[in-house]
A and B are shown apart, each in its own frame.
Chain A
Amino acid sequence: MNIYLPIAEMSESVLVLLGMGAAVGFLSGLFGVGGGFLITPLLIFTGVPAPVAVGTSTAQLVASSISGALAQYNRNNVDIKLGSVLLGGGLVGTLIGVEIVRILRQAGQFDVFLALCYVLFLGVIGTLMFIESVQTVWKSRLGAAPLSRRPGAHNWVHGLPLKMRFHRSKLYISAIPPLLIGAFVGFLAAIMGVGGGFVMVPALIYLLRVPTNVVVGTSLFQTVFVAAAATILHAGTISSVDLVLAAILMVGGVIGAQFGASAGSQLKGEQLRLLLAGIVLLVCLRLGWDLVVTPAELYSLARAAGAS
C-alpha cells in the first residue's frame, strides 16, 4: 500500500517506510545510538529530497531520544547544568546549521555537501570504532584488562577562563569547551539530521572528563532539545519536515528499538561495536561511491527555488 508524502511530494510504500524505521530503530536499540546517521542516507537512497530527509530525520530524532533521556533522568544520570550549557551552544549551532542548509540548497550544492559530510563523519567514526573494537576483541582474547580512565588528569581544557562548577559531574571547568562542543553537535544535527551522540559522548569523556555514568544521560538530554529546535527551524525556514513520513518512521522506529534493545543484551559489547563499525563503513562507502564514480546522468532538475 502506497502513501503520498505531502512535503517530499512522492508516493512510497508504507511497508517499506515502516520497515526502514523499524530496521534503524532495531539498530539504534541494539547499539544505543540515535540512528539519525542511518535514517538520513536511507531516505536519500529512497529518493526523498536531501533537505526533507534531514528535516524529517530531526523530528524522528526527538521521538527516539526522549524516552531514553527520561529514563536517564529518572535514574539521576543527567547533569542538568552541564546539559543546559551544552544546549545553549547547541541552539546557536543549530541556527547556523539551518541557515547553511538554506543557502546551500539555494545554490544547489546541498546534496553534494551532505554526502561529503556523511562520508567524512561516517568514515572517521567507522574507522575509529573498527580499530578500537578490533583492539578490544584482540586484548580480551589475550586476557588483558581494558584501559581505564584517569579521572584526576588535567589537560589544556582546564586552563580556560569562565569557570563554572558542575556538581553532578563533579567538575570545575570553563564553560567555553561545553559551549563549543554543544554548538558543533547542534550544527551537525541541523545539517545532517543526526543526534551527534557519536561526537558528544567521546568529547564529554575525553575532553571534559565527565564521569561516564552521567555522559549518556546528559548527551541525550541535549539531543532532545537540539533535535526539537532543529525540527522547528527546519520546518519554519525551509518547510522541510514531512509529518506523514516522520510519523511512519517514528512508529517503525520505536517498535524496532524495543526488539533491538533486547537483542543487544544478548551480544557482547565489543562484537556490537565491530558490527556497528561495519554498518557505518558500508553506508559511508555507498555514499562515497556516488561522489567518485562517473554518474550515468550528468544533469539534474530542481524546482527553481532561487528564481522566486
Chain B
Amino acid sequence: MMMRRAALVLMTLWIVAAGAAEPVNAGEGAVVAQATKKPKPRPAAPQPPPLQPTAQERVEADVSTRTIAITSGYSGAEILVFGAIENSRQPSAESGFYDVAVVIEGAPEPLMVRKKGRVAGLWVNTSTFNFNAVPSYYAVASTRPLEEFADAALLEENALGLEAVRMSAAADSAVRVSSEDLVAFKDAVRRLKQSADLFKRADYGVIFTGRSLFRATISLPATVPVGPLTARVFLFHEGQLLSKYQARVVLEREGIERWLYAFAFERPFLYGIVAVLLALITGLAASAVFRRRGT
C-alpha cells in the first residue's frame, strides 16, 4: 500500500515537472531539450555533423518507476513512459510530424493453450498446444494506429503490435497441428490475453507534450506475472523507423508477499505445517473467545 502510494506520488511529481517544463519548451524548444536532458554525447561522435537541420533524430526514453513492488495492497500499477527526440524537426506538439510507439513487454514464458471439445455431452479439454515462449504481458501504445504509419513487414520485424507479438510454438506441438489450427491457437492466445488485460493496444496512447517530449501511460493489471519487463520505444517518420530505445522495469514481490511466496516454493512442507498450525490456532482461539462470551 505504502509502496504504491509512493510510486503514485513519484509519478505525479514527474508529471508536474513535465508540465512545468512544457510552456518554456513551446517557446524555446531547442534550449529546453538541451537543458532537461543529460549533456549530449553528440560533439564527441565524429561522423555526424553537429546541429545541422538534417541531423539524425534519436529517441531517448525512461520509465517513471524502475521497480514496481507487489505488496499485499497491490492491485495493479501504472507505468509512465516518457522520452524526448534529439534533433527534433517537429514544428509543434500537434504537428504529427513524428510517430512514436511504446511497447512494454513481460518476459517470455512457456504457455499452454487448451481447447475444449464435447465428450459424452460434457465440455472437457480435448486438445492442447504448447508455446515455448509467449510474453507474459504485452502493451503497445502509439501516437496513432500502428498500421497507419508503418507497414506490416516493419512491424513484424520489430515485434511491434499485437499481431506481431513473438509466439514460438513448441516443436512437439507444432508438428501435430495444421497451419490453420496454429493460427487459431495464436488467435486464442491474443484474445484470451486481451480479455485478461494482459495484451493491449492504445492507438492514441502516446502524446507529444512539446516539440520533442512525449509520454505514454500504461497500466499493469494485478495479474501480470512477476518478473522483468522491457520498455521499448520506436520513433517513426513517414513510414521509416528512425530510432529505437530500450529500458527495463522490474516487477517484484515485496514484504510479506515475497516472503510467503518464497516460503511456499522453497520450503513447501514447512509451509504446509505452518498453514496447519495457523489453522489450529485460529480455530482454537475463536472457540475460546466465543465460549467465554457465551457464558
* A interface residue numbers (CB < 8 A to B): 1-4, 6-7, 9-11, 59-67, 70-71, 108-109, 111-112, 116, 228, 231-237, 239, 241, 243-244, 246-247, 250-251, 254-255, 257-258, 290-295, 297-308
Contact = CB atoms under 8 A, between A and B. Distances in A.
Given A234-B272, A300-B192, A108 B283 contact: no
Nearest to B136: A303
Contacts of A112: 122-125
A301 B186 CA distance: 11
B275 A70 contact: no
9 contacts: A3-B73, A4-B75, A66-B284, A70-B287, A231-B276, A243-B274, A244-B260, A255-B286, A301-B111
A295 B115 CA distance: 11
B223 to A, nearest CB: 6
A5 B223 CA distance: 10
A235 B269 contact: yes
Given A299-B185, A301-B112, A239 B265 contact: yes
A82 B286 CA distance: 28
Given A11-B76, A241-B264, A300 B113 contact: yes
Given A10-B223, A298-B115, A305-B112, 15 more contacts: A4-B257, A59-B278, A63-B280, A63-B283, A66-B283, A108-B128, A112-B125, A228-B276, A235-B272, A236-B269, A250-B278, A254-B286, A290-B123, A291-B123, A304-B109
A2 B122 contact: no
B273 A232 contact: yes
Contacts of A61: 279
A292 B123 contact: yes
Nearest to B293: A258
The interface size bin for chain B is 35 or more
B155 interface: no
Contacts of A10: 222-223
Nearest to B110: A304
B269 A59 contact: no
Contact of A301 (B117, B122, B189, B282): B189
Contact of B290 (A109, A228, A258): A258
B193 interface: yes
Contacts of B193: 301
B41 interface: no
A241 B270 CA distance: 12
A216 B73 CA distance: 41
Interface in B148-192: 170, 185, 188-189, 191-192
A6 B170 contact: no
Contacts of B48: none
B72 A3 contact: yes
B6 to A, nearest CB: 17
B245 interface: no
B239 interface: no
A231 B114 contact: no
Choose among B113, B274, B283 the residue with the greatest number of A CB atoms under 10 Å from its CB: B283
Interface string B117-140: 110011111001011100000000
Contact of A4 (B74, B117, B271): B74
Given A234-B272, A243-B274, A250 B283 contact: yes
A70 B284 contact: yes
B286 to A, nearest CB: 3
Interface string B189-229: 10111000000000000000000000000000011010000
